[in-house]
């Protein structure tokens, strides 16, 4: 129905917005509960013959990531790390390289801050 009372219109619009917000929250909760469901054991039964192979691949990937992590500790140049980042194909590799870049930049900032403090104290 149409109403000419502006206060009533505001209340109606406010109630509609509140209902939409509640519906959106319910949808987000539903989506989150679906997204983070634990793996079902029946799925593992279906994939039983591929499971040892996938476990072996995962172990190989973990070993490769550990080797990459050791390699990244030796690199002290952001440019080298950036080149590695651009060449990396796997998400986990890129994640490790980005963390190394952040750490190196933080160390550079800390060193510059300490150098600035030493100069200002003289």
- Listed by start position, the domains of the chain span 6-34+62-120
| Coil, helix or strand at residue 88 | coil
What letters, b where the CB count within 10 A reaches 16 and e where it falls short, cover 102-122? Answer: eebeeeeeeeeeeeeeeeeee
Q: Is the pTM of this model over 0.85?
A: no
Q: What is the pLDDT of residue 23?
A: 92
Quick: pLDDT tens for 26-80. Answer: 888 888 777 655 555 555 555 566 667 777 788 888 888 888 888 888 888 889 9
Q: Are 28 and 35 in contact (CB under 8 A)?
A: no
């Amino acid at each position: 129905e149409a109403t000419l009372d502006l206060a009533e219109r505001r209340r109606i619009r406010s109630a509609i917005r509140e209902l939409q917000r509640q519906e959106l929250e319910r949808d987000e909760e539903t989506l989150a509960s679906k997204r983070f469901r634990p793996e079902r054991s029946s799925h593992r039964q279906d994939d039983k013959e591929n499971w040892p192979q996938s476990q072996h691949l995962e172990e190989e990937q973990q070993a490769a990531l550990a080797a990459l992590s050791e390699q990244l500790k030796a690199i002290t140049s952001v440019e080298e790390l950036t080149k590695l980042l651009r060449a990396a194909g796997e998400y986990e590799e890129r994640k490790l390289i980005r963390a190394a870049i952040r750490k190196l930049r933080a160390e550079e900032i800390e060193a510059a801050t300490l150098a600035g403090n030493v100069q200002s104290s003289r």
